[in-house]
Amino acid sequence: MTVSEHQMKEAIETLKETGVRITPQRHAILEYLIQSMTHPTADEIYKALEGKFPNMSVATVYNNLRVFREVGLVKELTYGDSSSRFDFVTTNHYHIICEDCGKIVDFHYPGLDEVEQLASHVTGFKVSHHRMEIYGTCPDCMKKQNVH
């Protein structure tokens, strides 16, 4: 069983436990999110799946993403005024974002968990979570611009 097959199986179990029916569209949206490393928007998911599900609407995609978010399978990433992007929740990871094309790439850095403990200790806050984003120019955009 591949990693994505294992993630799909666990995601379906989570949905069943919370009483969410597994429709063919739900299955396809979830599969797309798990296999996509691009943090797609709802429109991108819709465009990728409309051939397979001609009577599926963008609203269906949004509604399913909301359900996935509510049960904790998906994180909604909002960046300023651009469309929300959706990320299948795996382990804690961070994002580096290209300021030119908007591409979002995951990276892992376990050392930041200590920041929550320090913040809590210094301020007395009960920390629920943190979010960190790093911005720059991706290699593809640098090639286009000839910038190093």
Task: Return the structure tokens found at 77.
Answer: 């990433």
101 is in an annotated binding site: yes
Q: Determine whether the annotation assigns residue 121 to a binding site.
A: no
129 belongs to an annotated ligand binding site = no
Residue 108 in marked binding region: no
138 is in an annotated binding site: yes
Residue type, 118: L
Q: Annotated binding site for Fe cation, which residues?
A: 130
User: Would you list which residues are annotated within the binding site?
Assistant: 98, 101, 130, 138, 141
Residues at the binding site for Zn(2+) are 98, 101, 138, 141
